[in-house]
Structure 1
Amino acid sequence: MEPPAGTRPYRSHKFPACTACRQRKIRCHFDQVAAQCTLCREKGWQCITASPGPSAQKRERASTSGPGERPAKRTTQSLGATEDGSPRVQVRQPSRQASVIGTPAEASAEIAQPLDHPSTESTVIVGPVFQEDIQILGPYLSKGNEARQSSKERQTTSAGPGRNPLLYLSVPRRRRGLQPAKDPGSGQKLIIQQLVGPFAGDLVDLYFEYAHPCFPILDEFAIRKHGAANVSSALWSYIITNAFSSWYQSPKLRKHPRPDPIYACNVAVAALQEDFNESSVSTILCSVLDMIGRPINSIVGNIINEGRTIALAHTFGMNRNPTHWGCSDHEKRLRTRTWWAVLITNRLSALAHGTPPTLTRGQYDVPLPTYATLLTPDKDTEYRRQGAEHFIQLCKLCEILGDIIHIATDLRRPFEARVPRELRKLECDLDEWEANLPSYFTKPLEEGKGPGACNLHFCFLSTKLMLARTALKVASDGQQPDNSSEHLRYRLSVLRSSAREIADFVCALKSQHLAEFWLPYTAHLLASSAMILLRCTVETTDTLARETCKQSLESLRKRLRSARDEDDWDLADIFLNQCDEPISRVIGKLDNPTTSSAAAPISPRPPQQENIHAAINVEDVVLQPLQQDFVFDFAGGGLGGADLGFSFEGLGLPFDSSLWNGGFEDGGDGMGGF
């Protein structure tokens, strides 16, 4: 008779029962995420196990010691009792075979559970509002000295520090009535294996050589040690597909045609959907790899995955500081890496897609990752340290970005009086972040720069542009005390220079820079920056500023077209598909002023039109007619989309025709980015 799924094999000596269950001679039912058995969890004891007995040690030495090796000295372990009645013995290490954070040898959430030990339960974090209630009621609801527990009961356990504990609730892992998959994503994994053939190992090497150093969220040692057979099928599929962007950087692989990356990505997405039905920590990592992978296939799909990933991370308590938890150092490092990867994708997704961020500073207390958290012990090279620094600096930058976006997405008008002060503080924080950068990140286009330097600098410029857009939006609020024409003119010039700075940086990129690590959000941010530059071009009456913006737009378009055609840089596709034609038409109209009303004087805005932009989405930066000498009024007879002779309908993200017409109309999709 086979043991039930998810339990320790009967009379197993390889995975012994904990000391408390052994003394009571009961079956030790081990919970996965809480790293405790049901008995110890109810009693509030540490789930611990004693050292092997003499006979077990003797058998172990006989099986592991060679003929010329001397057996290790025997150690003994006292079995006293603690104050709360639990045995005082050696603390159990999280090496159970059925642990959600472990493998047969290491505790690693990247590795799937063995197929012969499927899990039937999962654990979710209890909301902080109910933690105190459960702690107070816990002693009264306890079953006393009743030892035998059902593995299907839903119970709670404290897994955090005493001053601020976390409570987990055991729940069924799968939906009732749904046939569970023995290995979610195994069919898709087989397809990808057939697709890449004998090059799977080379692609794994490519991933850890080019993508992993800059975004080190996986356990390289565990994945390389256990191989494809023991790695989660969905996770392995994403490692392979994310390495496709580096295919031509391998001297071996560049001699062979690259498989279709879009097809491979779709297969990996199907594996992820199956994995979400039996979610674990590995599912979060797969989803993060999906959002930072290339090519970009589905914007809506990425937005949905981002929301599901954050919800799952909160469910597993990833947003809490694990420093003082009673878990292994490996799990602490894993939790820290995973949470900050989730936060980075949340911030950059909000910036690129226009969705309000769902995380605030008060909702997490996970410390910033360190070298010890990110680096693989046997890969502690200078190159890897610089890549880890890229990830750390990106974490710090995204915290600043989150504060900016929270102001930008605030729909309340007028802005509160504290908002201008907060923006000035954020400007100082951004300047301080830039000043504290290591030297190998300060000049991303020069030799000797660190890995991911170009991507980090582009993210910084995009954050700077977002701050300038938000500052102009706040300054144009009629209720603000500093909305004088000089201040608004200054904010507009800062916005224009920030957009030009992005265009100049992209135009200076060489082929070797394009082959480096880039986050896929770059594609959307390029389109958004070009749109701002285009608006600055059509709204200004300053001839010199207009010509400068036109030249920047033309140079940017030329460089990105060359990057796509000559270097196969897929991140240029969105810009060229959405902005190429609008830029050509706008520049054509400006070069032929006889067909437009650009030179016509503008009358002051009537009072009834002062709030015409109130319904505009945050993507449409409120470039109101500040003064007749330097701003055109879109809504008041100036150089708008209709005057330019073309429509923005059908262009898709990141802007919509309704944005140019004074707000969203009924039926608008509202999918604009910032």
Structure 2
Amino acid sequence: MTAVVAIQPAMTRPGPVPIATSRPHSSQPMTGKENQIQLKPASSFSGVTNVRTRRERPCDACRRRKSRCVIHEGAVLCVLCEFHRQECTFVQSPQPRKRKLPESKKEAPPKKRSVDLETGIRGPQTPSIRPIPSPNQRPFLHRTSKEPGETLGLQRRKFSRYLGLTAPFDNIIWGLSQFDTRNESNIDLGTLRRVNEHECFIMLNDESQDYDDAESLNVLEEVVAPHGDTLIDIYFRIVHPSFPIIQKQIFLNRLSNGDRAFSPPLLAGMYILALNWWSHDPRLAPYPRPDTEKLDAIASRSLAAAMQRPKLSTVQGGLLLLQRPEADSWSLTTQLVAIGQELGLHLDCSSWSIPEWERGLRRRIAWALYMQDKWSSLIHGRPSHIFGANWAVKPIDDQDFDETESTANEPEPLSEDEKADVDKGQVLFSQMIALTGIMAEIMDTFYTQIAIQEFANAGKNSTRLILDKAKPVQIRLKDWFAKLPPSVRMDNITPNRLSPTGFLHLAYFATEITLHRRIVQSLDPDNSDPYLAYICRSAAKTRLISAMDFVNRLKPEHLQSFWHFAAKINFTLIGTFGSLLWATAPAKEEADFYKMRLREYRWTLSVSSKRADFLDYAVQMLDASRAMLNNLAEKPSITQTQISSVGVPDTQARTMPPQTLHDEQMEDAAMELRRFPSGSAFSGFSNDQLDQYGLDNPPDVRSEHG
């Protein structure tokens, strides 16, 4: 009987509570930030009737602070008084100026108050060599307030570009600029924005693109109308928890206040991903599904335009669009990595003068981009574009997911199930980052051009060299899996509630297979030690069968959930590994075993694809591999080879186990020897005690679907 997972609609939210009454529109656009935090207008403060008569004169509060006093056209309060929710008065007289002392009577300048200087514990800095500040440079003022324009990567009418150490703007030269209290300095080319003592961005205007964005947004809303809000709700319930690259509360606050001026590629990506659950949602299922091709066209066009003036929302939108199974992940990933570097996502932002919530958002986006690059490198077999020597992003922690500081409103309370989904999603995201780091180490150790040449130069010793290098990575991978929190294990599911843990465990098997695939590729039947080859192939069989059994045990709660973009290829890699073992099998009996298991695996994928369309690709790739294997020459029977009936060389060789093998591989080999009595024909492994998921008796592939 086919199981159906119904996606329950979220609890009905009360009507939106406006944060503030909108200000009168002025003739000049007001510079703000992309995810604007709404502040109280001047009219909300009783008893305030002061109007600034001289624009050059600072208000009393700004005069005391010795801060720049800015009043936007049409506003009653200055920016700082509005932020601090205090009266903006002009009643106090200017303080008397101090008379300059003659040079001979000058004393040493007093130390600045600690409140004006950067405080707090500093994390590791981005550049390994620090530039020496010029004695003429002004001290850096560390500010992390919520004033409009304080964000770096989310301003509406400005975008930023990072100025590196070798850029035409040398840090000593731009350090001589006169920076205001927002750490900005206007120059002919734009606005310099200093984020700490040694790192700076140039802010450029992009107001000329407002019309194009408005037109794209209007078309987007027409395509999904009147279901846009429902699709947003689906996105935040299903995709966002395990792929948290958006500041949810700011987004929802803007939406509830009628502000829909979002980044078109970002909004299009959210709609496109949410459409995957259209037929499962009772609010949407009765209606015709929106035209996905139109959404794709708008997304592609608007993303290409946004790349010319990139912001964090550009990377967010690109990453969401890349999660589509049909997306071309290689070329777009390359572009997004370059844009991320232009935005400074590869740097450590811990000490930057930006809001705390933006630091957490930047780290989440940066690590999502890191995973996108590394997994694209794996599934395409091409070089990565992110290198450890230039990656200074700190590891993600719980504070990076905190959204309480990003909005003035109290977040809407979550139900117990929703809170559990959010907590599980954050653990999934963090664990996927850690696993990606191990996978990236495998790629750097075994699949770079330098590594390939090194193994080729080793000749007959290449397999042993690979095994030596594989041992520490295997230990890290085994330790990672052993320490997985219970909340993200495969058997931790709630019936009829989606569970996105599948993509994490699939990535684990893909990582294992990538490592053992390199070992099997190095085996030369003419030159390899027969016993060493047997041990390596035995370990490879164990991984293959465990991966196939994992796929066999996937439930509807897993299949109908969100899957990371690499899942389509990772499912395929399991079949590819089976085909490799089939093609390199030394005897007909072993080849027939893999042929049988691949047939069963294809059947499992074809049945599962009814609930996960992207699995059709893995089925097609299996069929293509099978067609190529038809050209494989007939293999000799095991009795016609120099290998014994259990696949192990003679007794003398068996007494000399290679010391370079990992203990886990030796245990696999010993277990294999116990399974097959002398003289029996090769029939592959049984499933007992091979499972790495903690299930003692995993179900047989053929019995799972009845």
- Please give the range of the TM-score, normalised by the shorter of the 2 chains: 0.5 to 0.7
Q: Please give the per-residue CA displacement for 1:107-159, whole angstroms capped at 9, x wherever unaligned.
A: xx3xx62xxxx33xx4322334579x9344556x55799xx975434675642
Match of 1:637 in 2: none
Match of 2:375 in 1: 348
Alpha-carbon separation, structure 2, partners of 1:419 and 1:171: 49
Match of 1:192 in 2: 220
Match of 2:673 in 1: none
- Specify the code of the residue in structure 2 equivalent to 1:306: T
Match of 2:448 among 397, 410, 413: 410
Match of 2:579 among 534, 541, 546: 534
- Specify the code of the residue in structure 1 equivalent to 2:471: R
Kindly indicate whether residue 297 of structure 2 is the aligned counterpart of residue 266 of structure 1. yes
Q: Please give the per-residue CA displacement for 1:263-322, whole angstroms capped at 9, x wherever unaligned.
A: 433332222112112211111111111112x241x42xx212111111111222212222
Paired residue secondary structure (1:509):
coil
Q: CA deviation at 1:82?
A: 7.3
Paired residue secondary structure (1:125):
strand
Q: CA deviation at 1:435?
A: 0.7
Contact 2:347 2:391 in 1 (8 A): yes
Contact 2:81 2:87 in 1 (8 A): no
Q: CA deviation at 1:389?
A: 0.2
Match of 1:331 among 333, 338, 358: 358
Match of 1:580 among 623, 628, 645: 623
Alpha-carbon separation, structure 2, partners of 1:457 and 1:7: 42
Q: Please give the per-residue CA displacement for 1:68-96, whole angstroms capped at 9, x wherever unaligned.
A: xxxxxxxxxxx999746999599755545
User: Which residues in structure 2 correspond to 1:322-401 (within 5 Å)?
Assistant: 322-377=349-404, 378=411, 379=414, 381-401=419-439
Unaligned runs of 5+ in 2: 1-25, 34-50, 73-77, 90-96, 99-108, 118-140, 405-410, 459-464, 643-706
Match of 1:561 among 591, 606, 623: 606
Contact 2:315 2:336 in 1 (8 A): yes
Alpha-carbon separation, structure 2, partners of 1:496 and 1:261: 41
Contact 1:500 1:549 in 2 (8 A): no
Q: Please give the per-residue CA displacement for 1:211-248, whole angstroms capped at 9, x wherever unaligned.
A: 11111111111111111613222211211111011212
- Specify the code of the residue in structure 2 equivalent to 1:491: C
Paired residue secondary structure (1:124):
strand
Match of 1:218 among 235, 246, 250: 246
Contact 2:186 2:192 in 1 (8 A): no
Match of 1:126 among 153, 163, 171: 163
Q: CA deviation at 1:549?
A: 1.5
Kindly indicate whether residue 476 of structure 2 is the aligned counterpart of residue 429 of structure 1. yes
- Specify the code of the residue in structure 2 equivalent to 1:124: R
- Specify the code of the residue in structure 1 equivalent to 2:615: A
Kindly indicate whether residue 236 of structure 2 is the aligned counterpart of residue 208 of structure 1. yes
Match of 1:456 in 2: 504
Q: CA deviation at 1:410?
A: 1.6
Alpha-carbon separation, structure 1, partners of 2:525 and 2:174: 53
Alpha-carbon separation, structure 2, partners of 1:143 and 1:59: 26
- Specify the code of the residue in structure 1 equivalent to 2:318: S
Alpha-carbon separation, structure 1, partners of 2:608 and 2:263: 35
Q: CA deviation at 1:359?
A: 1.7
Paired residue secondary structure (2:454):
coil
Match of 1:550 among 588, 595, 599: 595
User: Which residues in structure 2 correspond to 1:224-235 (within 5 Å)?
Assistant: 224-227=252-255, 229-235=260-266
Alpha-carbon separation, structure 2, partners of 1:144 and 1:226: 31
Match of 1:597 in 2: 634
Alpha-carbon separation, structure 1, partners of 2:64 and 2:149: 18
User: Against the structure 1 CA distance between its residues 19 and 478, is the aligned structure 2 distance closer, same or farther, given a 3 Å change threshold?
Assistant: farther
Q: Which moved further from structure 2: 335-344 or 499-508?
A: 499-508
Paired residue secondary structure (2:160):
strand
User: Against the structure 1 CA distance between its residues 323 and 3, is the aligned structure 2 distance closer, same or farther, given a 3 Å change threshold?
Assistant: same
Paired residue secondary structure (2:218):
helix
Q: Which moved further from structure 2: 334-343 or 17-26?
A: 17-26
Q: CA deviation at 1:198?
A: 1.4
Match of 1:39 in 2: none
Match of 1:276 among 307, 310, 316: 307
Paired residue secondary structure (2:86):
helix
Paired residue secondary structure (1:541):
coil
Q: Please give the per-residue CA displacement for 1:167-208, whole angstroms capped at 9, x wherever unaligned.
A: 22426456xxxx932155443332332222211111111111
- TM-score, structure 1 as length reference: 0.67
User: Against the structure 1 CA distance between its residues 368 and 87, is the aligned structure 2 distance closer, same or farther, given a 3 Å change threshold?
Assistant: closer
Alpha-carbon separation, structure 1, partners of 2:111 and 2:617: 65
Alpha-carbon separation, structure 1, partners of 2:200 and 2:337: 17
- TM-score, structure 2 as length reference: 0.64
User: Against the structure 1 CA distance between its residues 244 and 555, is the aligned structure 2 distance closer, same or farther, given a 3 Å change threshold?
Assistant: same
Match of 2:563 among 480, 504, 518: 518
Kindly indicate whether residue 86 of structure 2 is the aligned counterpart of residue 57 of structure 1. yes
Match of 2:533 in 1: 488
Unaligned runs of 5+ in 1: 30-47, 61-78, 103-108, 591-595, 604-674
User: Against the structure 1 CA distance between its residues 355 and 11, is the aligned structure 2 distance closer, same or farther, given a 3 Å change threshold?
Assistant: farther
Q: CA deviation at 1:21?
A: 13
Match of 1:248 among 256, 265, 279: 279
Percent of matched pairs sharing the same residue = 18
Q: CA deviation at 1:462?
A: 0.4
User: Against the structure 1 CA distance between its residues 439 and 410, is the aligned structure 2 distance closer, same or farther, given a 3 Å change threshold?
Assistant: same
- Specify the code of the residue in structure 1 equivalent to 2:160: T
Paired residue secondary structure (1:548):
helix
- Specify the code of the residue in structure 2 equivalent to 1:239: M
Alpha-carbon separation, structure 1, partners of 2:220 and 2:83: 47
Contact 1:472 1:492 in 2 (8 A): yes
Match of 1:443 among 470, 490, 496: 490
Contact 1:216 1:375 in 2 (8 A): no
Contact 1:321 1:366 in 2 (8 A): yes
- Specify the code of the residue in structure 1 equivalent to 2:614: L
Contact 2:544 2:574 in 1 (8 A): yes
Match of 2:514 in 1: 466
- Specify the code of the residue in structure 2 equivalent to 1:205: D
User: Against the structure 1 CA distance between its residues 196 and 123, is the aligned structure 2 distance closer, same or farther, given a 3 Å change threshold?
Assistant: closer
Kindly indicate whether residue 282 of structure 2 is the aligned counterpart of residue 237 of structure 1. no
Q: CA deviation at 1:476?
A: 6.1
Match of 2:340 among 293, 300, 313: 313
Contact 2:446 2:518 in 1 (8 A): yes
User: Against the structure 1 CA distance between its residues 534 and 478, is the aligned structure 2 distance closer, same or farther, given a 3 Å change threshold?
Assistant: closer
Alpha-carbon separation, structure 2, partners of 1:388 and 1:53: 32
Q: Which moved further from structure 2: 495-504 or 518-527?
A: 495-504
Alpha-carbon separation, structure 1, partners of 2:599 and 2:313: 44
Q: CA deviation at 1:526?
A: 2.2
Match of 1:571 among 600, 605, 614: 614
Alpha-carbon separation, structure 2, partners of 1:168 and 1:494: 51
Alpha-carbon separation, structure 1, partners of 2:194 and 2:525: 49
Paired residue secondary structure (1:437):
coil
Contact 1:214 1:387 in 2 (8 A): yes
User: Against the structure 1 CA distance between its residues 149 and 313, is the aligned structure 2 distance closer, same or farther, given a 3 Å change threshold?
Assistant: closer
